[in-house]
Chains A and B, each alone.
Chain A
Amino acid sequence: METQSVIQIKNLTKIYRDFWGRKKVRALNSLSLDVKKGEVFGLLGPNGSGKTTTMKLLLGLLFPTEGEITVLGKPASDVSKNEWIGYLPEESYLYRFLNAEETLDFYGRLFDMSPQQRKERSNQLIELVGLQNARKRQLKEYSKGMTRRIGLAQALINNPDLILLDEPTSGLDPLGSRDMKDLIVKLKNEGKTVVMCSHLLADVQDVCDRIAILYAGELKELGRVDDLLKEQHETELLTSKLSPEAVADVEAVLAKHNAKLLRHGHPTNSLEDLFLKTVQKSQERPGQRFVPAASEKS
């Protein structure tokens, strides 16, 4: 059965013009793509490739020069679609004079939520993003990471069906970044659709089902992450530790099948994994040193 499209973009072109109406830059050129319900979709591309422009066009913050956009079955300019959308902007453009509770209460009011609903939802989200100890502090006193967290909380205030995240891990430390990615996966598991744009490829690879790669406003690649990354002409084997003799035997067997061993060695963890393990151990055993001190080494 065909999965329902949450976002449909057809031949979308956006040209930025100057005050006199002269063309300044073509930010998007004939972009067409669909985002299906329940998937995590990544928009990738270098700076200036049109990711944020696409996101703003989806939200009706910018108007298309040409083409059509349908979000949740409604035109992008229709305000009523926003009832089911959550948006985390690239920078967390929040009101710096409000504290976390006031911020969430304010955005809750914009959804006509009752005071009780707002209070419950604010408490849930503050806990979710880990800002319990800073709930009464004005946002101007927040670090960038904390601002991203409260930004995410405001995007989720209405328990949206479609969540648009613009550079969601930007400004977050590896721990925060991991939390964000875990949250995205959790949202997907709850049946929500997530569209994120990022130039941090590892983040996208970790969480996205499908991606689109943009360059200079044009769509260059579109498909499932696994499919796009799969090397069709190579095979990967992962074994327990092999002796040099065993490696030589493997090479002999491969030669029999007209194949050769391209690379062998010990697999490495990602730096992110190492960092997270170290932090986790530190939390479990505070005060314990994992690396010998300089004096102990000597």
Chain B
Amino acid sequence: MNFDAKPFLLFSNIENGLMHWLLVFGSFIGVIFAASILISVGIYGVSGPVAVMGRVRQGLHDFLNLSPKRIWAISWLTIIEAVRRKALLVFVVFAFLMMFAGWFLDSDLRADLQVKNAVSFALTTVSWLTIPVLLLLSCWGIPEDIRVRSIHTVVTKPVRRNEIVMGRILGFATIAAAIVAMMGIVGYVWILRQVPNNASLICRVPVYGTLQFLDREGNASDKGLNTGDIWEFRSYIEGGTKASAAYKFPVDAPVDRIKLESRFEAFRTHKGRMGQSLLVRYVLVNPTKDLRVPLDSFEIKEFNLNEQYLERKLSFYDEVRMDKRTIDLFDDVVDQNSLTIEVQCLDSGQYLGMARPDFFIRLPDRPFAIGYFKAVLGIWLLTVFIVSIGVTSSTFVKGPVATLLTFSLLIIGQGFREFMIKLITGVQKGGGPIESWYRLVTHMNDTLELPDNIGIKIMQGIDNVMLGGLWLMQHLIPDLTSFVMAPYVANGFDVPWNLAIFRSLAITIGYLVPCLLVGYYSLTLRELEAK
């Protein structure tokens, strides 16, 4: 596992999420409104703000008088257009790829890795074929209508501009749903045929906890030791000391037994005994009752899964009372609906690495199809997001520019947002663009202090302005990584509703609302003439 689902507790934190969205959306509206008033005063004088208010009133009226029939008419047109222009031929490309893909996937790999490759391939292919088609369709639809002036026969009917934007988005979203559903079903059948005999498709349902490290003296720490291996994601505890990693899992209703699953990494400073892996022990902790329940130690399976069961009735040797005791897991260990488990490495001189998602409670598995089609739903949500941005941008720029704009947003949202944040927060050394250029030219690496002079100060000042722009951008550009749900399914996990689906849905809706507003005003305030 090399991914970590970011907590997104929509339902437990919906007020905060909504407030944050309202704040950003309100600020966006406020800035646009203030700029419109200022510009209108500059151009038209005193009558300018009156005209702006008139537009606002008209906008409110148009949004309150939407006609679902007209919206669906535009959607229907969009669907027919896409079908008659043979957009669904993308499905033929997909079928062709699926027919021969099996030849190129490595059949000498371990069975579970073969399954992982097959699932990743199917879902990635669905994404990579659907997204470009929908990107192009959504970015070229309205500009093409304006270019050939067919939009004239639509806007001269009682059609409001927001109905055009909504109809287009709905139409493209429907096409995307059809394409993604067809490809998803074919991909599913293909995966079933690709699974080796000695492997199975699983859909684990994990319950992740929070992770707190204790150092070798037993003091709390956010991170374990850095062994020079993966540092940001996973850190290490030292064996044979008081160092441990405490996982705190949320636990709901009592059950007869709990299944624990882990995948820890070993970092060795000496060979140890040949053929023997590191020795690990779980200790159940109830801090309120000052109860520590050490379980039997076990050897971890490196590069593979460790599975243990916690029975409800546990017998153990109480090192404080010097006596054997039997306790009830839920009555005695679970504290305020939380189960705390400390992981200790018993081999001195060896290190055990772990991250938050490396250890979890495994609930009863779900059918693989459920997890798989949730991931397909995630692909569809991403296409809806892209379609919303594509249609909106196509209301104020021509097709090629709209395509470039939407594509850039997609790339930044999926891959470069973290980098932007690092640049803004200063985690990424080297300063802004001008400072970086200066360092390149003068061969100064990013750890060297810059000379203290007025030129450098001006340079850094300009950089700060640019970084301010970048700060604004990273607030406007969404984190699209939550839409990518293939890693869950490929790694044999269910796609969590809260962590992935609702998060993606919230992002899509969160952007859809301003998109409709921008698209509406963009079409209303421009003359629909091809230029």
Contact = CB atoms under 8 A, between A and B. Distances in A.
B158 interface: yes
Given A61-B156, A79-B158, A112 B77 contact: no
A82 B158 contact: yes
Given A61-B528, A110-B159, A94 B73 contact: no
Nearest to B161: A79
Contacts of A109: 69-70, 72-73, 76
B529 interface: yes
Interface stretch (A95-103, A121-129, A169-177): A95-103
B150 A94 contact: yes
A85 interface: yes
A98 to B, nearest CB: 7
A115 to B, nearest CB: 10
A138 B84 CA distance: 10
Nearest to B155: A61
B370 interface: no
A69 to B, nearest CB: 14
Nearest to A21: B43
Contact of A82 (B69, B73, B149, B156): B156
A93 interface: yes
Q: How large is the interface on A (under 10, 10 to 19, 20 to 34, 35 or more residues)?
A: 20 to 34
Most A CB within 10 A of own CB, among B76, B85, B148, B157: B157
A107 interface: yes
Contact of B149 (A62, A93, A111): A93
A87 B150 CA distance: 12
Given A95-B81, A98-B80, A110 B150 contact: no
B527 interface: yes
A79 B85 contact: no
Interface in A50-70: 56, 59-63
B152 A89 contact: yes
A56 B160 CA distance: 17
Contacts of B70: 109-110, 112
Nearest to B531: A19
Contacts of B67: 112
Contacts of B153: 87, 89, 93-94, 107, 151, 154
Interface string B491-531: 00000000000000000000000000000000000011100
A118 B489 CA distance: 48
Contacts of A91: 149
Contact of B157 (A61, A94, A107): A107
A215 interface: no
Given A79-B62, A110-B157, 19 more contacts: A61-B152, A63-B527, A82-B159, A83-B158, A85-B156, A87-B152, A91-B149, A93-B148, A93-B149, A94-B150, A94-B153, A95-B81, A106-B73, A106-B77, A107-B153, A109-B72, A109-B76, A110-B154, A111-B158
12 contacts: A61-B155, A79-B62, A87-B152, A89-B149, A89-B152, A93-B149, A93-B153, A98-B80, A109-B70, A110-B70, A151-B153, A154-B153
Interface of B: 62, 67, 69-70, 72-73, 76-77, 80-81, 84-85, 148-160, 527-529
8 closest A-B pairs by beta carbon, nearest first, are A109-B73, A97-B84, A93-B149, A110-B157, A87-B156, A82-B158, A93-B150, A83-B158
